[in-house]
Amino acid sequence: MIDISYVITVYNKADHIAPMLNALERQEGDFSREFIFVDDGSTDHSLDIIRERTKDWPNVRILEQENAGVSVATNTGGFAAKGEFIKIVDADDAMTPYASRRLLDMMRAHNLDQIAAEWKLSPDIETDSKNALETDASLDILENPLSEFFKVGMGGSTSTMIRTRAFKDVGGCDERVFVQDFSLPLRLSKKHRMACTDLLVVFGPENADGRILDAQATVIHDLSATMYYFLMDNPDISADLQRLAFKRCAGRAWKWAKRKQGKSIFSRAFYLYLLSRLPIWQQTSHLIGETMYIWKDETVRQSGSKKV
């Protein structure tokens, strides 16, 4: 079996892709690897750059699809993976040279299904990733990953490594949601073994056109949409976590409505926020769905499948 399958999703990243490819070539370690590039309907020269740069690499597959969003693209690559572990890589990020080796060692030593590490923004990801110094790192195995997600959240892509069997077991990312960073750890958190580490494994660009991190409405919408769909699919989640999810989603909606839309305390958003404070709810997916109206007139990126 291949040890690591790198799944690299690409959409119009021609101006940022070189440092990512350089960092892939610098990955240290005596492990077998494959590279799965998923071009999500790029209209620039991203695909040409990848083909030229990787023509002499072993075990490269380049998959092409019509533009459907990063969740769908991640699933395309993830379900094609043959490795024991999946290393998701965003096309505009650059990993530190030791990243794969150290994460692989942690995954195996502690029998993990997913690990999340540290990342930083940088004005020069090529230089910073290349010169990053390997350090000691702590490891925190999550006793209750599901509760952790609802209380403080989880996210990340290039900073994570996932057991391929676990990825496929949960059905990959939720393709109803554009952003893949949230739905995958949430799905894994229900019954899989997860951990986090303070090891620095990736640098992301401070400025990158089309970066999801900069699409604030999409990110906040998708975090709530992720919880909405998850609770719809998993009505057996405990009532305390159901209530916490409703409280967090209603709070996000009210904060956005107040700060970005000028809504008052007489608005529907504030009413839902007040409802979320009541300790009476047993099932809350339908209530979270009610909060999603606030994003109706905002610019929210859509996945290949319908959104809320």
Report pLDDT digits (tens) over 251-264: 999 999 999 999 99
Which of residues 186, 210, 234 is at a domain's end? 210
List Cα–Cα distances, 245 to 23, 24, 230, 241, 252, in angstroms.
Answer: 38, 37, 10, 6, 11
Count the residues in the chain. Answer: 308
Q: Please state, rounded to an integer, the average pLDDT across all residues of the chain.
A: 94
Say if CB 196 and CB 115 are below 8 A apart.
Answer: yes
Report pLDDT digits (tens) over 49-102: 999 999 999 999 999 999 999 999 999 999 999 999 999 999 999 999 999 999
Does residue 130 lie in a domain region? Answer: yes
Does residue 308 lie in a domain region? Answer: no
Report pLDDT digits (tens) over 209-245: 555 554 588 899 999 999 999 999 999 999 999 999 9
Same domain assignment for residues 199 and 249: no
In terms of residue numbers, what domain contains 20? 2-210
Same domain assignment for residues 132 and 22: yes
Say if CB 85 and CB 5 are below 8 A apart.
Answer: yes
Report pLDDT digits (tens) over 112-141: 999 999 999 999 999 999 999 999 999 999
Same domain assignment for residues 152 and 284: no
Question: Left, alpha or beta for 104 (phi > 0: left; psi -120 to 50: alpha)?
Answer: alpha
pLDDT class of 208 with cuts at 50, 70, 90 = low
Same domain assignment for residues 203 and 57: yes
In CATH, what number is assigned to the domain containing residue 192? 3.90.550.10
Say if CB 141 and CB 148 are below 8 A apart.
Answer: no
Say if CB 123 and CB 206 are below 8 A apart.
Answer: yes
Does residue 146 lie in a domain region? Answer: yes
Same domain assignment for residues 69 and 96: yes
Q: Diameter of the chain by CA atoms?
A: 63
Same domain assignment for residues 230 and 195: no
Same domain assignment for residues 184 and 233: no
pLDDT at residue number 126: 97
Does residue 224 lie in a domain region? Answer: yes
Which of residues 210, 226, 261 is at a domain's end? 210
Report pLDDT digits (tens) over 9-53: 999 999 999 999 999 999 999 999 999 999 999 999 999 999 999
- Is it the case that residue 307 has pLDDT exceeding 50? no
Say if CB 203 and CB 129 are below 8 A apart.
Answer: yes
Which of residues 210, 242, 271 is at a domain's end? 210
Q: Per the confidence metrics, is the pTM higher than 0.85?
A: yes
Same domain assignment for residues 203 and 277: no
List Cα–Cα distances, 275 to 28, 219, 290, in angstroms.
Answer: 52, 24, 11
pLDDT at residue number 226: 96
